[in-house]
Structure 1
Amino acid sequence: MKVLVLNCGSSSVKFQLIAMTDEQVLAKGIVEKIGASDAIITYQARDQNRLRETREVLNHEVAVDLVISMLLHPQHGVIRDRTEIDGIGHRVVHGGEDFSDSVLVTDEVVAAVRKCIQFAPLHNPHNLKGIEACERLLPGVPQTAVFDTAFHHTIPPQAYLYGLPYALYEKLGIRRYGFHGTSHKYVAHKAAEFLGKPAQNLKLITCHLGNGASVTAIDGGKSIDTSMGFTPLEGLIMGTRCGDIDPALVPYIMNREKLTADQMDAIMNKHSGMLGLTGTSNDMREIEAEVSRGSERHKLAVDIYCHRIKKYIGAYMAELGGCDAVIFTGGIGENSRNVRMKSVSNLTRFGIAVDAEKNRKNEIAIGTGPVAVLVIPTNEELAIARDTKQILVLGEETLKKTAAREAGNGRISHFVGHEKADLVLLWAEEPGAKPADLARKLSKKLSKPITTEIVREELEYLGLT
């Protein structure tokens, strides 16, 4: 099975084609500056040199078509025909309260993702463009949506509700949703493997530190709290985002500086964080280089950045009632020795200490105390591909079992092949759904009346009740 993983941003499409038999990346790349005449296409097949070219790319559909063309290229491609792509996994930033796991893309899923545009106006529209482009360019190839927010669906109400009127939650869905869920989930499971313990027996704190950054408290393999909130702006200080601030600063600054809501939003999201504090850069590598040259302002920015991380680690240790491991991941978490050291300094009384030499060598286990401190590279693309494979295999296995049962007792199904597949996939999206609800959805999908009794009988025969 080969899975194409797509991450569609506002002006870019990142991609990887992964062979799921050995989970090897066959090819990867990115199309940048979509909408411009000088868009940049970077492509690298396994065991080959990286290719780079500049050309006009008008929109996301053209970008996805370019990706497919590169994968099929006579010299540099890794497949001979489009039919070799068995599934497409999409990173979707916001699933709201509708999705607690990855799902097969259907009309209903697309409608729900579109509804969540109100929560993620900078992300979900472009995620949908990728889905729609694949529908036109690779018709019939199943697509899945893997949500950044899904892993955080286990956060309890006392952690996800804000101290605002409850009516605003009921009316507008204002609550903590959390992000980077795919990464937090992936490194938590990798940590459990490394420690040789079941994930359900561990209390973990995962620190995803990149240009965007967040910390998550994980108890028994489930997220119980996370630093990002209603939007990715809350929490840690990031590359260009301010993170936690006194909310009263927003109207104060707007009034004093005569700013519009959009201008204030731009300050907090695009001109704050490390860029705002240093006045020069949001790139931690450049900032640390300035620190090494003696810049006090850049040193202060790094101190503020690490102070916020430490503050969340301490808070989540209290919330978890202890901790088995603190995990660093993301571009900064995996590569900045200084940030890791500063973020857990003076925590020996909490069982956290770092071996300076192991930290310098970027070893996986860098802790010396009873609480493990781990550096684990994230792999969101592989996590998306695995979820896609799981969804597709579930559908195939269920259909094979049905065929075997029918061959054994001569039973005639109420549905032909694709109709049966549609029922199984609808059930897979929501295993607890009532037959009446499935009948209604299936009727709409097939454009013909399907009774609840027929669906109930078919589910019982499939062993799905």
Structure 2
Amino acid sequence: MSQEWVLVLNCGSSSVKLALVDPDSGERRLTALAERVGTSDAVVRLRRGDAEESSAPDDSSARGVVAHLMAALTHAERDGLVGVGHRVVHGGSQFSAAVVIDDATLVDLHDLVDLAPLHMPANLLGIETARAELPDLAQVAVFDTAFHQTMPPVAYRYAVPTDWFDEHRVRRYGFHGTSHRYVSVRAAEMLERPVEDLRLVTLHLGNGCSAAAVRGGESVDTTMGLTPLEGLVMGTRSGDVDPGLLGYIAERLDLDVAGVIEALNTRSGLLGLSGVSNDMRTVCEAADNGSESARLAVDVFCYRAAKSVGALAVALGGLDAVVFTGGIGEHSPAVRRQVLSHLSVLGLAEDPEANADHGRHTGGRVSAPGDVTAIVVPTDEELLIARDTARLAR
């Protein structure tokens, strides 16, 4: 098999995603999604070309599901592999780029579990299983946080006691870094300008949302912090709230801190405001049908996103372009329209025809001509993970 492939693995707490990616062309030979991992209802859906099949793994544990997916690879696919790329949620302060995983790296990764206890155990399980199943291949960790390690202290430090930072690693890390890195480079290509000359705000809007200030190809600030809960309004996450809310609502609802954090993570955001759904499509439909709570949810979502653009323009010292990406950013002209309506102060205005057309496939400009541009750039985190992996493996 002359073509080379990278196996991209993304292990979550209840799902596992796998893709066989050509790191040069971006072609997918195979994609797979396992859902309801760890339950008796676990199911694996695998697609090669136009053919799709579903199966139930004999072992529904996360380790069993990953092994099941590995076993689905043909001999030819295994022969063409150059490496395995793992999406890893947290790299702490020590990982500022993708790394080849060895025993010492694994020790460092286990030390980061406390910073992301919901995600890191699943990420590590995927790494350990893939190392056992494919021991002769380079395993590469690509971190959600790495791109933001270029932030200066003024952006990443909280105004909290210094020993919290020194002893407990309390600082802003940022997430979605692989997406922000990919779309900032792709935006420069689409704008036909060197990324080194650009000041971008990248808006990753999906069920999880974050914005980043990217100057000269490097992140100088972002909206997520110690955890992915900080920042913009999201599908089920609140984004920024007054920290005093934790004590206030805990006392009135007889909750502990973990209970309040759980509610802010899973019952807030679009779902909490609208009372309808965490899916922007459903919320927009309800708003159009007269739901005042759904309309408020959309309004708050767009207002907060636009406000973050203004704040990050300060971090950049100016603004050349706003980049929309993620499921909502790429596919919701209505959200883009409303965000842009708030940004006239920065010289942005919607081009209605372009905004209606772009974002479905290749993306493109959605703003009227001016000194500042708004564009849609479809993200491709799997491709960037594949390219990082191939570069290090080769």
Q: So what's the TM-score if we normalise by structure 2?
A: 0.95
The answer for the alignment partner of 2:48 in structure 1 is 45
Moved more, 318-327 or 90-99: 318-327
Answering whether residue 372 of structure 2 is matched by residue 371 of structure 1, we say yes
Match runs of 1:47-446 below 5 Å = 48-72=50-74, 79-80=75-76, 82-362=78-358, 364-368=364-368, 369-393=370-394
RCO comparison, higher one (Cα < 8 Å, 6+): 2
Q: 1:330 offset after TM fit, Å?
A: 0.3
Structure 2: how far apart are the matches of 1:21 and 1:266? Answer: 41
- For residue 82 of structure 1, report the CA deviation from its aligned partner: 2.9
**CA offsets, 1:339-371, max 9 Å, x none?**
111112142231211101111112511111221
CA distance in 2, matches of 1:289, 1:52: 31
Are the structure 2 counterparts of residues 319 and 21 from structure 1 closer, same or farther at C-alpha, using a change threshold of 3 Å?
closer
Verify the 8 A CA contact 1:155 1:224 in the aligned structure 2.
yes
Is the contact made by 2:322 and 2:373 (CA closer than 8 Å) also made in structure 1? Answer: yes
1:321-347 CA-partner distances (Å, limit 9, x unpaired)? 211110000000001111111112142
The aligned residue for residue 9 of structure 1 is 12
1:19 Cα deviation from its structure 2 partner:
2.3
Letter matched to residue 367 of structure 1: S
SS of 2:364's equivalent?
A: coil
In structure 2, how many angstroms separate the alpha carbons of the residues matched to 1:282 and 1:52? 27
In the TM superposition, residue 297 of structure 1 has moved relative to its aligned partner by 1.1
Distance 1:136-1:358 versus aligned 2 partners, 3 A rule: same
How many Å separate the matches in 2 of 1:81 and 1:185? 29
Distance apart, 1:21 and its partner CA: 4.6
Q: Secondary structure at the match of 1:58?
A: coil
Deviation at residue 2 of structure 1 after TM alignment: 1.2
CA distance in 1, matches of 2:284, 2:24: 41
Q: Aligned partners of 2:24, 2:322: CA distance in 1, in Å?
A: 31
The code of the aligned residue for 2:27 comes to Q
Rg larger for? 1
**Any stretches of 5+ residues in structure 2 without a counterpart?**
none
User: How many percent of aligned residue pairs carry the same amino acid?
Assistant: 45
**Alignment check: 8 A CA contact 2:22 2:386 kept:** no
Cα RMSD of the aligned pairs, angstroms, is 1.3
Runs (5+) with no aligned partner, structure 1: 73-78, 394-465
Q: In structure 1, what is the Cα distance between the partners aligned to 2:79 and 2:187?
A: 36
Q: Which moved more, 1:341-350 or 1:137-146?
A: 341-350
Q: Distance in 1 between the 2:24 and 2:212 partners?
A: 31
Contact 2:57–2:65 (Cα < 8 Å) also in 1: no
Say whether the 8 Å CA contact 1:2–1:20 is kept in structure 2: yes
